[in-house]
Amino acid sequence: MAHSKPAGPVQLSFLLFFLMATVEMHRGSSSSSERTVEMRGRKVLENDLVISPPMGWNSWNHFKCDITEKLIMETADAMVSTGLASLGYQYINLDDCWGAFNRDSRGNLQPNSSTFPSGIKALADYVHAKGLKLGIYGDAGNRTCTLRIPGSLGNELRDARTFALWGIDYLKYDNCNNLGKSPKKRYKKMGKALKYAGRNIFFSICEWGREHPATWAPMVGNSWRTTDDIHDDWDSMTDCADQNDKWASFAGPGGWNDPDMLEVGNGGMKTEEYRSHFSIWSLSKAPLIIGCDVRNMSHETFEILSNAEVIAVNQDKLGIQGKKVKGSRDLEVWSGLLSDEKVAIVLWNRLSSPKPITAYWSDIGLHPSTIVDARDLWTHSTISSVKGQLTAIVNAHDCKMYVLTPLK
Ligand code: GLA
């Protein structure tokens, strides 16, 4: 039996890793500051996964617990064959329900053997061979939210190491069954464990905005949820947008506010509403994590998710989160600065009939005499030499999105 054998070299090196990492983890606050880096005046986590918001796909919004390795492989295939992968959507992320109800005899996490019979390492190999990355889901408590598979509280080092050995590139770390302990401490522990796991793993903090993560999570992870779960309806989507907006000034290269994953293509909203959803998430520098069945997308869904001009706003190298500058739950103007002195704006009609909406230069940080070319990112046409303000008629629940380029 495995446990009665003398320890081999692999087991010894694992033990050594554990001891060293445990000592490091208990060193206290000095080691936490060693792993942060100053970026534009704020301290953020030091790993290489900081440049622009992550893009990819996650199983939860569409499939909930109905996931198998076959589905994940077909999704990876579809991400490539549809062209979404080459637009930047690189992470293929498992959510809850991938795991077995119990740890294995050594105490390690293990996949559900009937739905993931080949194991997670084989799945990661498959996904990596397509040029994509594999994400997984864990929990900063003792069981996950829905299927109650084991969480990682108290097992952070062991589980981070398992994820690294499997070839995982992204961890979404949820907040259920947390024994009432402070998120700050629980997430910090996993953040450190990932550092010692020997692989660059994007750390997506999912504590639902409970302890104002924007104020502490930049030093712990790469993104943090600012809201409760999104649902595939207009009210939920607009609420997530508004709640996330409050934390705009805390985001930037090094760490992103996360208003939850995209519902585009799941059927609960109209095309105009999904266009608004995608535009606002992009302007807000949110992670663009697709949540529909990409194997069977409609043309409208693909048109939204594949809009390269809108994606470019999200991925702009300045990394400034655009925000609402005018209006409240009615006729709104959102805007954000881009690199090369460009400005992105979204005119968003949240009322139920078509209305004109005007962005005045004074609202969006431009001098009133500035002349710009306005590129309409949804019609892919340009309005030349616009001065002082821009007005458009916007359909109910729809938006117009522009990039304004000042003329020299
Ligand atoms: C929580 C998270 C969701 C999803 C489910 C899975 O509710 O916030 O995004 O991961 O758990 O159980």
- Read off the pLDDT band of 254 (50, 70, 90): confident
Active site residue 363: no
Q: Which residue from 136, 145, 225 has its CB within 8 A of the most atoms of ligand 1, so it is best to mutate?
A: 145
Which is it for strands 202-205 and 223-225: parallel, antiparallel or unpaired? parallel
At residue 6 the predicted structure's pLDDT band, cuts being 50, 70 and 90, is very low
Angle (deg, nearest 10), helices 9-25 and 183-195: 140
pLDDT at 33 over 60: no
Q: Which residues line ligand 1 (CB under 6 A)?
A: 60, 95-96, 144-146, 174, 206, 208, 229
Question: How far away, in angstroms, is 154 Cα from ligand 1 center?
Answer: 20
Range 369-400 burial, b when 16+ CB lie within 10 A, else e: ebebbbbebbeeeeeeebeeebebebeebbbb
Among residues 228, 229, 239, 363, the one annotated as catalytic is 229
Probe residue for ligand 1, chosen from 96, 98, 258 as the CB with the greatest number of ligand atoms within 8 Å: 96
Q: How far apart are CA 328 and CA 331, in angstroms?
A: 7
pTM of the predicted structure, to 2 decimals? 0.92
pLDDT at 123 over 80: yes
Contact (Cβ atoms closer than 8 angstroms) between residue 262 and residue 252: no
Compute, in angstroms, the gap from residue 204 CA to the centroid of ligand 1.
12
Lowest mean pLDDT among 13-22, 26-35, 316-325, 356-365: 26-35
Report the alpha-carbon angle 304-378-264, nearest 5: 20
Instruction: Give the residue-averaged pLDDT of 68-93.
Output: 98
Q: C-alpha dihedral over 90, 258, 323, 339, to 10 degrees? A: -30
Better-scored residue on pLDDT, 58 or 43: 58
Q: Which of 283, 397, 400, 281 is nearest to 350 (CA)?
A: 397
Query: Is 242 a residue of the active site?
Result: no
The answer on pLDDT for 37 being more than 80 is no
Greater confidence, 222 or 20?
Answer: 222
Q: What are phi and psi of 42, to 5 degrees?
A: -130, 150
Instruction: Answer whether 343's CB lies under 8 Å from 336's CB.
Output: yes
Band (pLDDT 50/70/90 cuts) for residue 222 is very high
CB atoms within 10 A of CB 15: 11
Using the predicted structure, report yes or no on whether residue 192 has a pLDDT greater than 70. Answer: yes
Mean pLDDT of 110-127: 98
3-state secondary structure of 355: strand
What would the mean pLDDT of 341-359 be, rounded to a whole number? 98
Q: Is the pLDDT of residue 30 over 80?
A: no
Question: What value does the mean pLDDT take over residues 38-62?
Answer: 82
Quote the pLDDT of residue 264: 99
Q: Which contiguous run of DSSP H or E holds residue 204?
A: strand 202-205
Report the alpha-carbon angle 400-338-390, nearest 5.
35
**Rounded distance, CA 214 to CA 294, Å?**
31
Atom of ligand 1 at shortest range from CA of 261: 9
* pLDDT computed for residue 15 by the predictor: 52
Q: Is the pLDDT of residue 26 over 80?
A: no
**pLDDT mean over 317-334:** 96
Distance between Cα 290 and ligand 1 center (Å): 15
- The two structure tokens encoding residue 66: 């109905």
Residues 187-211 have a mean pLDDT of 96
How far is the C-alpha of 353 from the C-alpha of 162, rounded, in Å?
Answer: 53
Q: How confident is the model at residue 215 (pLDDT cuts 50, 70, 90)?
A: very high
